Structure 1
Amino acid sequence: MDKLREMEVFVAIVDRGSFTGASDKLGLSTSAVSRALNSLEARIGAQLLARTTRSVRPTDAGAAYLDACRKVLDAITDAEANTAAFHIKPVGTLTISAPVLFGQRFVAPLVNAFALRYPDVSVNAVYIDRTTRLIEEGVDIAIRIGHLGDSTTFAVPLGFVRRRTYAAPAYLAARGEPVHPRDLVNHHCVSFTGVTHPLEWVFSENGARLPVRLQPRMIVDLAPAAVSAAIDCVGITQLLSYQAAPEVLNGSLRPVLSAFEPESVPVNLLHVERRGASGKVRAFLEFVTESLRRSAHLQFVDSAVALGEAMYA
């Protein structure tokens, strides 16, 4: 019998006042209760109970050990209850990661609403334009834009965004509009490293990949900087569709070379817990998934819905 079980037997004998009472409480035979106490006393090297034909009471050593046993067993009970609570209700700290602009526009409002709905969850939101490693960096949930590689992480598909090419109407009026990706060699270009290789933009022609080499006028590592440069007529830029959506709506940017757009880029919500997910993770998944799928800026494909929550390969 293990040490904790022996401690449990000892406490039960004292609480019930007899070996028979402890036997009834724990569902053990009286002989098993006696063996457990004998083993405990032998291991400790002290008599814990004074036995008479009418009563069982702790010795001085037993009284001190009884208090220690209660503390240990209570701590274990509390730990188990707290652990179970994590899987039943949303509690604890939830760490979320998302790309900066996507997070600012789509994730942050949902995180704010989630925090108000679940006051027992503390949220650590990390908005950063690099791939976070969930397990190594302690991230519970991450929004990932791009094709996924091999991993033990689980992905919930949210939709797709397009890689599109944009220019300001004033720029096009001054320098003309490219009709083929190869025309970009005659234009000023602004490369955003978060979406494209600085010296090579990728398009699609007749279903085939079409890379185009260029010499950019400017290279930036933030989407808002690329948007700003394009609006200011520094040059044509290539972005993910959501990154320039407000500027297209207000007319400050226009898509160009739309017939040559490459394939869509998937957007997934990643987490490391599958079945038995903690309450905080499960609640956030349920809270944000459908809202993000309904976003007009995430073109969601029906076949992706059928995938549900799946481990990607």
Structure 2
Amino acid sequence: MDRIQAMSVFAEAAKLGSFVSAAEQLSMSAPAVTRAIATLEAQLNTRLFHRTTRRIRLTEAGIQYLNDVQRILADIAQSEAAIAGVQLLPKGTLSVTAPVLFGELYITPIIAQFLRDFPEVNVHGYMYDNIVDLLDTKIDVAIRISKPKDSGLYATTVGYVRKVTVASPDYLANAPNLKTPEDLKHHTLLYPSDFKEPPVWNFKRNGKTVAIRLQPRFECNQNRSTISAAKSGLGITRLMSYQVADAIEKGELVSVLDEFNDEKLPIQVVSLEGRHNLEKVKKFVEYVKSALAKDVYLNS
């Protein structure tokens, strides 16, 4: 088996998370797949997969090598298509994950347009507020609102958001003074929560973090419910700027303590393969970047 074929076997095994599944997909025997991976590991003098009796998982070296392999295979496919006069178009199933409310407001419309433009693509959408492991879940693209933490992933920044503190005009008209973060202890607080950590809001003063421990009157694991409670005049909440941008524009909520806002967080489109993605991934990243670049609330 030549090196390129072995790379294809490796990429398929990494994608499916199983030597047996890769063998079935490639119409090979399971021992042949195992031998191909073993040969690659011997040539590279490193282990590409952690193996157990039930599953396989890429090693750190395997993740890095997968990025290179995907790039090489994509380049070969594009070169062959160019010689044949064929334009590669996205096709197959694309799996995308995003935070729940961000996914509803921004990513779902992008997915809809993507599906209209590329009829040979299907999309599986997973909206979660927690970070999803792309390898474990076999997800192609993740939209994350945070600083990058995994150097084994490829990420491109498509915008910025920050936490903002808001309340309704009616609440503020009848509430105690609110000039510093410490004044929050005199107010009714609404806390969007996963109930896993103590309620704390972080602010910035003179470049230093000011952590305010809270005693919320209302805690809820759904951001929409917290926003609704704030708009009704119940109290003050703190959420991502994009989550309350529409309510601020309509005058339903007012931003307060702006001079104490913490630093911006990047909105990133994250994938495994790197700059020469599979065509469906590369094209979807382009769609997300183009659409979000036009939104003033994500680039101010």
Give the TM-score taking structure 2 as reference length: 0.69
Q: Tell me, in whole angstroms, the C-alpha distance in 1 between the residues paired with 2:275 and 2:105.
A: 30
Contact 1:202 1:210 in 2 (8 A): yes
Instruction: Say yes or no: does 1:119 pair with 2:85.
Output: no
1:260 alignment counterpart? 260
1:188 alignment counterpart? 188
Q: Tell me, in whole angstroms, the C-alpha distance in 2 between the residues paired with 1:263 and 1:129.
A: 20
Q: Tell me, in whole angstroms, the C-alpha distance in 1 between the residues paired with 2:240 and 2:98.
A: 15
Contact 1:200 1:212 in 2 (8 A): yes
**CA deviation after TM superposition for structure 1 residue 88, in Å:** 3.1
Instruction: Say yes or no: does 1:208 pair with 2:208.
Output: yes
2:279 alignment counterpart? 279
Contact 1:195 1:240 in 2 (8 A): no
Q: Tell me, in whole angstroms, the C-alpha distance in 2 between the residues paired with 1:179 and 1:197.
A: 26
Instruction: Say yes or no: does 1:91 pair with 2:91.
Output: yes
2:174 is paired with a residue of what secondary structure? helix
2:216 is paired with a residue of what secondary structure? coil
2:171 alignment counterpart? 171
Contact 2:158 2:288 in 1 (8 A): no
* Distance change (3 Å), C-alpha of 1:275 and 1:167: closer
Tell me the alpha carbon deviations over residues 39-98 of structure 1, each in whole angstroms, 9 at most, x when there is no partner: xxxxxxxxxxxxxxxxxxxxxxxxxxxxxxxxxxxxxxxxx99xx88x932111000111
* Distance change (3 Å), C-alpha of 1:194 and 1:247: farther
Instruction: Say yes or no: does 1:218 pair with 2:218.
Output: yes
Contact 2:167 2:237 in 1 (8 A): yes
**CA deviation after TM superposition for structure 1 residue 288, in Å:** 2.0
1:88 is paired with a residue of what secondary structure? coil
Q: Tell me, in whole angstroms, the C-alpha distance in 2 between the residues paired with 1:275 and 1:157.
A: 13
1:249 alignment counterpart? 249
Contact 2:190 2:226 in 1 (8 A): yes
* Distance change (3 Å), C-alpha of 1:226 and 1:127: same
Letter in 2 for 1:209: T
Contact 1:166 1:238 in 2 (8 A): yes
**CA deviation after TM superposition for structure 1 residue 143, in Å:** 0.4
Tell me the alpha carbon deviations over residues 19-38 of structure 1, each in whole angstroms, 9 at most, x when there is no partner: xxxxxxxxxxxxxxxxxxxx
Q: Tell me, in whole angstroms, the C-alpha distance in 2 between the residues paired with 1:93 and 1:111.
A: 12
Contact 2:193 2:199 in 1 (8 A): no
For structure 1, the residue ranges without an aligned partner over 5 or more in a row are 3-79, 301-313
1:233 alignment counterpart? 233
2:165 is paired with a residue of what secondary structure? strand
2:170 is paired with a residue of what secondary structure? helix
Letter in 1 for 2:274: R
1:9-158 mapped onto 2 (5 Å cutoff)? 88-158=88-158
Letter in 1 for 2:127: Y
Contact 1:190 1:230 in 2 (8 A): yes
For structure 2, the residue ranges without an aligned partner over 5 or more in a row are 3-75, 82-86
Q: Tell me, in whole angstroms, the C-alpha distance in 1 between the residues paired with 2:195 and 2:263.
A: 13
1:147 is paired with a residue of what secondary structure? coil
Q: Tell me, in whole angstroms, the C-alpha distance in 2 between the residues paired with 1:148 and 1:196.
A: 22
Give the TM-score taking structure 1 as reference length: 0.66
Contact 2:195 2:221 in 1 (8 A): no
Letter in 2 for 1:270: V
* Runs of 4+ that moved beyond 3 A: 194-198
Q: Tell me, in whole angstroms, the C-alpha distance in 2 between the residues paired with 1:154 and 1:192.
A: 30
* Distance change (3 Å), C-alpha of 1:198 and 1:136: same
**CA deviation after TM superposition for structure 1 residue 276, in Å:** 3.7
1:283 is paired with a residue of what secondary structure? helix
1:7 alignment counterpart? none
* Distance change (3 Å), C-alpha of 1:222 and 1:236: same
Q: Tell me, in whole angstroms, the C-alpha distance in 2 between the residues paired with 1:116 and 1:229.
A: 37
Aligned residues: 220
Q: Tell me, in whole angstroms, the C-alpha distance in 2 between the residues paired with 1:268 and 1:159.
A: 7
Q: Tell me, in whole angstroms, the C-alpha distance in 2 between the residues paired with 1:194 and 1:146.
A: 17
Letter in 1 for 2:100: V
Q: CA RMSD in A?
A: 2.4
